[in-house]
Chains A and B, each alone.
Chain A
Amino acid sequence: MALNVLIVDDSAVMRTMVLRTLRMSGVPLGEVHEAGDGQAGLEVLQAHWIDLVLLDLNMPRMNGEELLGEIRGNPETAAVAVIVVSTEGSESRINLIHKLGAGFVHKPFRPEQLRAEIQQLTGITDDAHETSAVASDGGGDF
C-alpha cells in the first residue's frame, strides 16, 4: 500500500529534507503534499485523502500542536497517522504528543528512524517496502 503523505513545516528546506529522508527510508509513497503552516495543512487534509502527516511544531498561523488537535477532533481525520518531526526536547510536550496518538522523531533524524516510527503507526511491513522498492525502479534506495 502506497501512503499519501502530507509534510507540514514552515521551512521549505526542511520539507525537502523530510521528503528526501522519507524516500531513502523505502516507505512506499503515493501522493506527496506540502504545507507551510498548520492552517494550510488543514486545508490539504480537507481536500485530499492523506494516510500520514509529518508535522513540525513551531509554525506561524497554526502550530503543530493545534493542527494535531484539529486532526484528532475531526471524526474524518481522527485516525490519520501523525508523526511530529521537531527539535523539541521538552518531555512534557513530547508526552502530550504521544497522548494524542502521534509519533515523535527528533531532528536531525535518519531514514531508519523515520521508517521505524511509520511502521509502528501504520502497521506497514518491510515486505511492503521491498515490493515498493522493486516496483519503483530504485526510488527506495535505502
Chain B
Amino acid sequence: MTLTKPVPLQATAAATFEDLALLVPLDYLIEEQRDIPLTHGVVVRFFGPMTGRLELRVSDGVPRAVAENMLGLDDPSEQLQRDAFGELANVLTGNLLSEMTHAVGVFHLRPPTKIGPEMSAEVPVAETAIGLEEGRVNVRLYITLGG
C-alpha cells in the first residue's frame, strides 16, 4: 500500500527513544553501525482508521539500555528488558498513529509481541533506521487497510 502523505516515522521514533528511554538518537547510521546485527524484535498490531503493524528491531544492548533508563535500574532482568522494549514500541506506535491521523480517530493497539530479528520480504509503507551509542534500531510500518 502507498500512502498519500509522508509518514513521520523517523522523527517519531527518534523522539520516543529520546523522551522515553533517554537515548540520544542519530538520524543516520555511522559506518560501524550498519553491520551490527539486529537481535531483538517486537511487533505492535493496530486497528482503527488504519489497520496494520509496527515492527521494531534493535541490536544487542539496546533493550538493556532502554530498561535501565526507563526504570532507573542498574541491572534489569531479561524479563524487564523485554517488557520495557515492548512498552517503548507501544508508545512509539500510539504516537505515530496520532501524528499520522492528526489526532482524529480512535485506534486499538494489541499488546507488544516478540518477533524474530529476520525481516520479511513484504515491503513496508515506511522504514527508518536510527543510530544509538548502544547500537542500532530499525522500524518498519505496514498498513493493510485504510491510510
Q: Which residues of B contact A108 (CB under 8 A)?
A: 16, 19-20, 91
Q: Which residue of B lies closest to A107 (CB)?
A: B91
CB distance from A134 to the nearest CB of B (A): 22
Q: Does A20 contact B (CB under 8 A)?
A: yes
Tell me the bound Cα distance from A86 to B109 in angstroms.
12
Q: Looking at the complex, which one of A10, A12, A17, A87 makes contact with B98 (CB distance below 8 Å)?
A: A87
Q: Looking at the complex, which one of B83, B84, B103, B108 makes contact with A58 (CB distance below 8 Å)?
A: B108
Contact assessment for B83 and A20 in the assembled complex, using a CB-CB cutoff below 8 Å: no
Tell me the bound Cα distance from A12 to B90 in angstroms.
13
Q: Does A90 contact B (CB under 8 A)?
A: yes
Contact assessment for B84 and A13 in the assembled complex, using a CB-CB cutoff below 8 Å: yes
Q: Does B6 contact A (CB under 8 A)?
A: no
Q: Which residues of B contact A17 (CB under 8 A)?
A: 70-71, 87
Interface size class of A (residues with CB under 8 A): 20 to 34
Tell me the bound Cα distance from A88 to B48 in angstroms.
13
Tell me the bound Cα distance from A86 to B70 in angstroms.
16
Q: Does B95 contact A (CB under 8 A)?
A: yes
Q: Mark B9-33, 1 if CB is under 8 A from A, else 0.
A: 0000000100110000000000000
Given contacts A17-B70, A89-B103, contact A107 B94 (CB under 8 A): yes
Q: Which residue of B lies closest to A88 (CB)?
A: B94
Q: Looking at the complex, which one of A16, A89, A92, A110 makes contact with B97 (CB distance below 8 Å)?
A: A89
Tell me the bound Cα distance from A93 to B84 in angstroms.
26
Q: Which residues of B contact A10 (CB under 8 A)?
A: 111
Q: Looking at the complex, which one of B90, B101, B111 makes contact with A89 (CB distance below 8 Å)?
A: B101
Q: Which residues of B contact A89 (CB under 8 A)?
A: 94-95, 97-99, 101, 103
Contact assessment for B106 and A93 in the assembled complex, using a CB-CB cutoff below 8 Å: yes
Q: Which residues of B contact A87 (CB under 8 A)?
A: 90-91, 93-95, 98
Q: Does A91 contact B (CB under 8 A)?
A: yes
Q: Which residue of A lies closest to B19 (CB)?
A: A108
Scoring A10, A11, A12, A89 by chain B CB atoms within 10 A of each residue's CB, the highest score goes to: A89
Q: Does A14 contact B (CB under 8 A)?
A: yes
Contact assessment for A16 and B16 in the assembled complex, using a CB-CB cutoff below 8 Å: no
CB distance from A142 to the nearest CB of B (A): 13
Contact assessment for B109 and A11 in the assembled complex, using a CB-CB cutoff below 8 Å: no
Contact assessment for A107 and B70 in the assembled complex, using a CB-CB cutoff below 8 Å: no
14 A-B residue pairs with Cβ-Cβ distance under 8 Å, sorted by A, are: A11-B87, A11-B90, A13-B84, A13-B86, A13-B87, A16-B71, A17-B87, A20-B72, A58-B109, A89-B97, A90-B106, A107-B20, A107-B91, A108-B19
List the 6 closest A-B pairs by CB distance, nearest first: A89-B98, A87-B94, A108-B20, A108-B19, A13-B83, A89-B103
